[in-house]
Each structure stands twice: as structure tokens, then as C-alpha cells.
């Protein structure tokens, strides 16, 4: 990642994939150039925020009154985010969620390559899921060390998550993508990204409630206006 990544905010990092998706969409449509203001409008973001984000990631020079050449912009953002450097990872927990992630081909676009899965279920051990070998969790530490993998994806029940995380850290894992419904106790030297589905659903539900409430209020105001004109 860029040398100035210590100054980056989490919000900036979270916005970058959205920029990238939109830019690739415009490239596929045949659009060649885009300005930071145009990108901000499309993403419904403050232009100053988008301009600052791009200043951290983009090496290419934009053209006055034209903007950035989209292929160059895509390349710069992918390089900044590390998508152009493939990262091997292991997945621990080959249940339904784990199997779905093993089958998701989109990870490769972002430089993530899951090389193997691990599980305690004897019926899964030794099988292949979406072309990925499922190994016994008993071999987790030794295999991770052998492969020199630094990133792990956790898709386990909460009761098993901390034990697995400890084993991964012992094996040399430096980053964990945690899909387990539990907060992990990890050393400061290990990065963790928690995917809290319950929190995401709560936010979505709250937004839906707000939208429906506005629609109901508008409907009542419309009906009230009609009654007054009758």
C-alpha cells in the first residue's frame, strides 16, 4: 500500500472499492475520462472528500477541464489498495458461509486467493469445495506455517472462534477477516476486520423504517390536501 497509509482514515479505505467499481463500470461503457467532481456526484459524496481520497491514491495527472484517464485511475487505485499483489489466505470453518466464500470468484479481482479451507467435520475433511481442499483443523498451525500465509478468514461459530484465532496467530497470521459473531482478543500486531451482520441488518432495518415512515407521512399529507380541496 502507499507509503502514507498511516495517515489514512478507515472511511477513506472503505470508499475506495466503491470508486473502483464505478470506474470499471464507466470504462466498460466506453467512457475515457472522469473528473473528481463527476465521481463525487456519481457516488453522492462531497467533492472535497473525493478529491482528498484520490490525492492519496492517484499517481497519474489529470487533464484540466477533462479529468483523469479512467484506465490510469483504475490502475492507481488498485495498486494503492494492493489489489495488484495477490494475497494468499486460508479459510477456517467450511460450513455454509465458509463454502459460499470459497465459491466466490470475485475475491481474485481484489488480489485475494484462498488456498485452502479447514474444518473439524470428518465428512468435509479431505473433500474439495469449489476447487479448494478442505483440511483437518488439527493441521491448521503446521499448514499455515508451511505455506507462509499471513491472512485468514474466520467463518466459525462464536464458541470456536477465539481458539482458532489463537492458533492462527501462533502460526504467524498477521490479519484476520472475522465473520464470527464474537469480538476476538488479539495482539496489537494482528490486524482484524469484523463483519458484523447483525449490526448491518440493524442499520438497514432502521433506514427502511425511516423510508417507510416518510412515505406514510407524504401519503397522509397528500390525502389531507385532497380533503381540503373537496
115 within 8 A of 88, measured Cβ to Cβ: yes
Q: Is 98 a known ligand-binding residue? A: yes
Q: Is 117 a known ligand-binding residue? A: no
- Closest among 156, 113, 118 to 140, alpha carbons compared: 118
Backbone Cα Rg of the chain: 23
Number of Cα atoms under 13 Å in the Cβ half of residue 173: 29
Locate cell 470459497: which residue? 102
Q: Is 95 a known ligand-binding residue? A: yes
Q: Is 26 a known ligand-binding residue? A: no
Q: Is 202 a known ligand-binding residue? A: no
Q: Is 51 a known ligand-binding residue? A: no
* Alpha-carbon span 158 to 108, nearest angstrom: 28
**Which residues belong to the annotated binding site?**
93-98
**Which residues belong to the annotated binding site for NAD(+)?**
93-98
Amino acid at each position: 500500500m502507499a507509503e502514507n497509509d498511516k495517515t489514512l482514515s478507515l472511511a477513506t479505505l472503505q470508499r475506495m472499492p466503491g470508486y473502483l467499481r464505478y470506474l470499471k463500470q464507466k470504462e466498460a461503457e466506453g467512457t475515457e475520462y472522469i473528473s473528481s467532481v463527476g465521481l463525487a456526484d456519481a457516488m453522492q459524496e462531497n467533492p472535497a472528500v473525493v478529491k482528498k481520497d484520490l490525492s492519496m491514491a492517484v499517481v497519474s495527472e489529470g487533464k484540466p477541464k477533462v479529468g483523469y484517464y479512467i484506465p490510469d485511475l483504475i490502475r492507481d487505485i488498485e495498486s494503492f489498495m494492493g489489489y495488484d499483489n495477490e494475497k494468499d489466505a486460508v479459510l477456517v470453518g467450511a460450513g455454509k458461509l465458509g463454502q459460499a466464500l470459497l465459491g466466490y470468484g470475485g475475491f481474485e479481482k481484489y488480489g485475494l486467493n484462498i488456498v485452502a479451507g479447514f474444518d473439524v467435520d470428518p465428512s468435509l475433511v479431505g473433500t474439495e469445495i469449489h476447487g479448494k481442499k478442505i483440511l483437518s483443523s488439527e493441521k491448521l498451525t503446521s499448514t499455515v506455517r508451511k505455506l507462509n500465509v499471513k491472512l485468514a478468514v474466520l467463518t466459525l461459530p462464536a464458541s470456536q472462534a477465539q481458539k482458532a484465532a489463537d492458533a492462527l496467530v501462533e502460526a504467524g497470521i498477521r490479519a484476520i477477516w472475522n465473520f464470527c459473531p464474537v469480538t476476538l482478543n488479539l495482539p496489537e500486531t494482528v490486524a482484524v476486520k469484523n463483519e458484523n451482520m447483525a449490526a448491518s441488518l440493524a442499520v438497514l432495518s432502521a433506514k427502511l423504517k425511516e423510508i417507510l415512515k416518510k412515505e406514510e407521512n407524504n401519503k397522509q399529507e397528500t390525502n389531507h390536501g385532497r380533503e381540503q380541496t373537496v
